[in-house]
A and B are shown apart, each in its own frame.
Chain A
Amino acid sequence: MKNSLFAMPTCSPATSANANASASIRPDMRKFRALRVFALLFGLCGILSPASLLATSDILATATASGNSETAANSTVASRAARAARFPADPLESVMWVYMAERFFSDGEVIFDSRVSVVTPQYAEDQFYVPVTVDATALEADGHTVEQIVALADLNPIPHILTMEPHKASAFVGFRAKLQQSSPIRVGVKTSDGTWHVNGAWVDAAGGGCTAPAAAHGNPNWMRTLGKTRAIARRETDLLTRLSLRMRHPMDTGLAHGIPVFYMSDIKVKLEDGTALADVQLFEPVSENPTLTLKPKMAATDSTMKVFARDTEGNEFRFDLAVPAEISN
């Protein structure tokens, strides 16, 4: 109980960030607050993050309604079917698909689209580091403008992994995620016409990736390496570069016993004149020491990219990276 109480206040800063990402559930805040009190009473905060609470409030409401009488149950079944009918059937057959679609993709038409390439291994060799590479450049080749790439793990206690906005970058992002159990890795790509192009793949996993303490906590001085960065910038064509970066951060989910939520929440890449190349919002399931691979669009005359990062405690990290003019393969 002591640990739960200790963890409670630090849940709050992250709430706003998560609530932004789940605007569709926001009107329900009163119910959410009541649930949070309920959760605190039963010492649940240590195991339920704000993000999962938001999702759970919806599920609990449905469950309560269905438990009352047969009529209520029938109407719930009916409304569930009606809700499901809003979205195309999930080729991955995930039980969480409708919830994921309602929460993340409800503001536009949803189609499953093989032009969104989501590459993951079939089996998570390491549930703390599941590599994912998303490439939606085929949509761009077909004339679409990609506005957002949203990556989810349906069956994680916190499903939202990251959102990437390729302002002046290819619709491409590589990252690593933690998996709590076998789950679909799902990616929605929003194009400027408002359509969500969705694809994904199941990843088999031993599990436990989100509730174990970060490796950093094995070292009492881990704060001293916070934000330490390794990065490579290369030029792939006259107009396209590749940035791979890795920053030291525990990416604490708040779900490991006694360790409050603490993660790198924003990484922005800009040109020297401030022009946005790509913005990435990261969430709890991104692996410890977040690693990102992006493809900013930079002319040969643009020789520097500027990277800004910030975590949930407001720590900020900045660095400049020289981009070679010559192409290397």
Chain B
Amino acid sequence: MHLLKHSRRAFLKAAAGSCACALCGGANARVLKYELLASEVESKTWVVHGRNEYFSFENGGNIVNTAFIEVPEGVVVIDTGPSKRFGEQLLDLISQKIPGKPVLRVYNTHHHPDHFLGNQVFDPQIIAAPQGVIDNIEAEGDALTDNMYRLLGDWMRGTDSVAPTQALDASQENVGGRDFSLFYLSGHTSSDFVIRDNHTGVLFSGDLLFMYRAPTTPHADIGDWRQSLAMLRDTDRDLIVPGHGPGDEKGEAIDQTLDWLDWLDGSLRDAVERGWTMNEAMQLPIPERFNSIAVGKTEFERSVVHLYQKYEDELMPAIEIVQ
């Protein structure tokens, strides 16, 4: 009787709990799950599309594209997401789609936290990137991870920054019977890594390309970025998988990213030459042609802080001082 009463109480408690959860719809009450979906964009090539948003507790940091490819002898993974939890759920998804095959290679496109913090769930010996990406993760990974905990809370539980162990510098690599071309670029960060599957012609651009989402600039050099875009434009490919946004067959992601960067560059130069404060620059209207670009206002405000002092160094006249 006592036992029964106890379990009845437990049942009621659970029922009340789920009821409360349904009422408030709060993410707090449920188990944190990303509900990852893989879409097969090309034969045996799956992309897990993130939302075109900024980090929030609601999205758990799932704002990024990750991808995996079945190659003859195993699986190749491109970027690992924003958290250990994401990495675990990505790995589950891979084993559903490609049962029984080992992950042979994990590539990190650059050191931003939404792209590599799932590394932890993979064998460090198979995680590869250019030395620049590795250096950046080693230098900034911990601080970036701390900030992700602050932004995403429990989604980040147990996540640590893990740098790739394999430094790449070759222009090609064969992984499990598949040839990949490797491109060592920069501009979005000081080291941006682009991977092309030479069998399918799918180009994984990392965050050098954004589609229907405003580019982010915390480590950007717009001049280098433009050069990288010109190079990508001339690179053979059948499909681009950008770092954020939908797949792109026509190269629109290149146009969109370049258009945004040109506008950003011109606007900030103008603002600095007028002697505007950063706050005044942030109030500049976003042109209508960017209406389809998600989080434009947020990213523009962030970019003002990232880039303004570089423009001041370049454009504000140096003054002779008397001491």
Contact = CB atoms under 8 A, between A and B. Distances in A.
Does chain A bind chain B? yes
A166 to B, nearest CB: 16
A231 B276 CA distance: 12
Contacts of A140: none
Nearest to A292: B277
A291 B309 CA distance: 10
B322 A319 contact: yes
B323 A316 contact: yes
Nearest to A241: B275
Interface stretch (B71-79, B90-98, B113-121, B278-286): B278-286
Given A133-B279, A234-B274, A291 B312 contact: yes
Interface stretch (B184-192, B229-237, B298-306): B298-306
B278 A232 contact: no
A230 B319 contact: yes
A246 B316 contact: yes
Contact of A120 (B273, B276, B279): B279
A24 B218 CA distance: 43
Given A206-B147, A246-B316, A131 B277 contact: yes
B150 interface: yes
A246 to B, nearest CB: 6
Nearest to B280: A133
Nearest to B218: A125
B321 A227 contact: yes
B317 interface: yes
Contacts of A119: 279, 283
Nearest to A233: B275
Contacts of B288: none
Nearest to A242: B275
Contact of A125 (B305, B312, B323): B305
B319 A125 contact: no
Contact of A131 (B278, B321, B322): B278
Contacts of A206: 146-147, 150
B318 interface: yes
Interface string A281-324: 00000000101010000000000000000000001111101000
Given A315-B323, A317-B321, A317-B322, A243 B306 contact: no
A327 to B, nearest CB: 12
B155 to A, nearest CB: 17
A212 to B, nearest CB: 10
Interface centre among A125, A174, A291, A316 (most CB of B within 10 A): A125
B319 A231 contact: yes
A125 B303 CA distance: 9
Nearest to A317: B321
A54 B118 CA distance: 46
B270 to A, nearest CB: 11
Interface string A214-253: 0000000000000111111110000000111110000000
Contacts of A293: 275-277
A317 B304 CA distance: 29
A323 to B, nearest CB: 12
B35 interface: no
B11 to A, nearest CB: 41
A174 B322 contact: no
Nearest to A173: B277
Contact of A244 (B275, B306, B309, B313): B275
B281 to A, nearest CB: 9
A126 B321 CA distance: 29
Contact of B305 (A129, A232, A291): A129
A319 B316 contact: no
Interface centre among B274, B304, B306 (most CB of A within 10 A): B274
Contacts of B323: 227, 315-318
A244 B280 CA distance: 13
Given A231-B317, A316-B323, A243 B275 contact: yes
Contact of B302 (A125, A176, A229): A125
A229 B319 CA distance: 5
Contacts of B150: 206
A121 B318 contact: no
Given A129-B305, A227-B323, A318-B322, A174 B317 contact: no
B275 A234 contact: yes
A119 B317 CA distance: 26
B286 to A, nearest CB: 16
A132 interface: yes
A174 B274 CA distance: 14
Contact of A321 (B280, B313, B319): B319
A29 B12 CA distance: 62
A62 B251 CA distance: 66
Contacts of A120: 279
Interface of A: 119-121, 125-126, 129, 131-133, 174, 176, 206, 227-234, 242-246, 289, 291, 293, 315-319, 321, 328-329
28 contacts: A119-B283, A120-B279, A121-B301, A131-B278, A131-B279, A133-B277, A174-B277, A176-B278, A206-B146, A206-B150, A228-B318, A228-B321, A229-B318, A229-B321, A230-B312, A230-B317, A232-B273, A232-B275, A234-B274, A243-B275, A244-B276, A244-B316, A246-B312, A316-B323, A317-B322, A317-B323, A319-B322, A328-B274
Minimum-distance CB pairs A-B, first 4: A174-B277, A131-B278, A244-B275, A230-B316
Given A242-B274, A293-B276, A319-B322, 8 more contacts: A126-B306, A230-B312, A230-B317, A231-B316, A231-B317, A243-B275, A289-B309, A319-B320
